């Protein structure tokens, strides 16, 4: 039996994958792993394709026992992890044997850790995805957070042969999580509803992540963003990475479980490659916004995708290092 048994789920652990696409017009959010970079690299290390389901662990405290052998990897937030009491490195491939217990402590940096196993977590897809939508009660394991004694079976998702291969993730692809972050953003469709003074405040100020942060988004605290003509708009599209400005002038960075429409000024959107940093912001961390162009966002995205593709090719060949131009 290839499976893992949950002994302690910690504050929040859920099954997540790339996300649920094509249902936003029905009011169903994308969901999926909030830190897609960490999630995808974890799957790569485990030998999976980039869409296999993993376990997203928030704030550590996760303990589980392998009931079957599996290659696995921990990525995302840096944590003091252990396997049968032995220190366990993140961002590397490991092998779990029957009966061995894996533990993740509170994050040293970041917020969310990902546990990927070869073959992926085998739960029934809902609307084409295995990701958990907590507020909708669908996907994942019965649409809920993981609990003690839950049993998760490993699947037969398409994967590479990683037997005996050793591989390390190049530092260039490992996000440097910390107590502060600069998020590059593209100005949003309602940027004109923010006063010139408000725009200057938005791009020149430091904001603090409040305790009100979850998979729906993070509310920031700092200088109020002055609006030119009120915060309310005719409801429009809302999406992960969108930065809304409600009436109190405090920015809100939307997450993967965010609503599909919103009625607040959409000031900006975080560029794709910086969403990993937004995903790992914990209460008390500081944030600054920096303006980026569409061309800059596109170039950064393509560069990251090229590196991931090159890394997969090196992994299949059994290489240790990866060089690119």
CATH number, domain at 227?
A: 2.40.100.10
Task: Give residue 166's pLDDT.
Answer: 55
Task: Give residue 236's pLDDT.
Answer: 85
User: Do both 221 and 142 map to the same domain?
Assistant: no
- Would 270 be classed as within a structural domain? yes
Domain that holds residue 86: 3-173
- Would 55 be classed as within a structural domain? yes
User: Do both 111 and 228 map to the same domain?
Assistant: no
Domain boundary among 173, 206, 230: 173
Distance between CA atoms of residues 213 and 228, nearest Å:
27
User: Do both 188 and 272 map to the same domain?
Assistant: yes
List per-block mean pLDDT (blocks of 10 residues) for the chain, which spans 325 residues. 96 97 93 96 90 96 96 94 95 94 95 96 96 96 98 80 65 84 95 94 97 94 93 87 95 95 93 95 96 97 92 71 43
Domain boundary among 149, 173, 197: 173
Distance between CA atoms of residues 90 and 77, nearest Å:
9
User: Do both 147 and 18 map to the same domain?
Assistant: yes
- Would 319 be classed as within a structural domain? no
Place of tokens 């859920």: 14
- Would 322 be classed as within a structural domain? no
Other beta carbons within 10 Å of 212: 13
Distance between CA atoms of residues 118 and 159, nearest Å:
7
Other beta carbons within 10 Å of 257: 22
User: Do both 14 and 34 map to the same domain?
Assistant: yes
> Is 265 exposed, middle or buried, given 0-12, 13-18 or 19+ CB atoms closer than 10 A?
buried
Alpha helices in the chain (DSSP H): 36-46, 196-204, 275-279, 294-317
Q: Any residues with CB less than 8 A from the CB of 68 and at least 6 apart, and which? A: 1, 2, 3, 4, 98, 154
Distance between CA atoms of residues 236 and 289, nearest Å:
22
User: Do both 14 and 152 map to the same domain?
Assistant: yes
From 40, 82, 41, select the one nearest 65 (Cα to Cα): 82
Q: Check if the beta carbon of residue 218 is closer than 8 Å to that of residue 247.
A: no
User: Do both 165 and 223 map to the same domain?
Assistant: no
User: Do both 188 and 110 map to the same domain?
Assistant: no
- Would 211 be classed as within a structural domain? yes
Domain boundary among 124, 152, 173: 173
> Is 178 exposed, middle or buried, given 0-12, 13-18 or 19+ CB atoms closer than 10 A?
middle
User: Do both 169 and 259 map to the same domain?
Assistant: no
Task: Give residue 84's pLDDT.
Answer: 96
Task: Give residue 291's pLDDT.
Answer: 97
- Would 299 be classed as within a structural domain? no
User: Do both 81 and 107 map to the same domain?
Assistant: yes
Q: Per the structure, how many domains does the chain have?
A: 2
Task: Give residue 79's pLDDT.
Answer: 93
- Would 82 be classed as within a structural domain? yes
- Would 297 be classed as within a structural domain? no
Phi, psi of 180 (to 5 degrees): -145, 155
Distance between CA atoms of residues 52 and 218, nearest Å:
26
User: Do both 103 and 192 map to the same domain?
Assistant: no
The dihedral built from the CA positions of residue 108, 303, 215 and 179, taken in this order, carries a sign that is positive
User: Do both 79 and 110 map to the same domain?
Assistant: yes
């Amino acid at each position: 039996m290839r499976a893992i048994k949950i002994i302690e789920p910690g504050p929040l652990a859920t099954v997540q994958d790339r996300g649920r696409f094509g249902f936003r017009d029905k009011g169903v959010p994308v969901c999926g792993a909030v830190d897609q970079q960490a999630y995808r690299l974890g799957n790569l290390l485990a030998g999976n394709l980039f869409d296999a389901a993993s376990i997203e662990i928030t704030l550590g405290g996760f303990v589980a026992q392998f009931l079957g052998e599996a290659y696995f990897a921990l990525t995302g937030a840096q944590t003091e992890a252990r396997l049968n009491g032995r220190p366990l490195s993140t961002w590397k491939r490991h092998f779990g044997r029957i009966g061995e217990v894996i533990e993740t402590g509170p994050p040293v940096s970041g917020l969310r850790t990902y546990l990927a196993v070869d073959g992926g977590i085998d739960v029934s897809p809902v609307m084409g995805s295995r990701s958990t939508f907590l507020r909708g009660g669908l996907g994942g394991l019965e649409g809920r957070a993981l609990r003690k004694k839950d049993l998760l079976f490993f699947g037969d998702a398409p994967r590479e042969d990683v037997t005996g291969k050793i591989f390390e993730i190049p530092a260039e692809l490992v996000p440097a999580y910390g107590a502060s972050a600069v998020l590059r953003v593209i100005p949003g469709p309602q940027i004109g509803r923010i006063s010139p003074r408000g725009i200057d405040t938005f791009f020149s100020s430091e904001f603090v992540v409040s305790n009100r942060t979850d998979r729906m988004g993070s509310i920031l605290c700092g200088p109020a963003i002055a609006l030119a003509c009120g915060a309310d708009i005719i409801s429009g599209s809302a999406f992960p990475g969108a930065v809304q400005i409600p009436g109190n002038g405090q920015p809100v960075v939307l997450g993967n479980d965010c609503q599909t429409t919103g009625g607040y000024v959409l000031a900006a959107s975080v560029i794709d490659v910086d969403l990993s940093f937004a995903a790992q912001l914990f209460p008390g961390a500081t944030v600054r916004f920096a303006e980026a162009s569409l061309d800059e966002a596109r170039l950064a995205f393509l560069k990251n995708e090229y590196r991931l593709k090159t890394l997969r090719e090196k992994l299949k060949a059994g290489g240790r290092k990866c060089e690119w131009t």
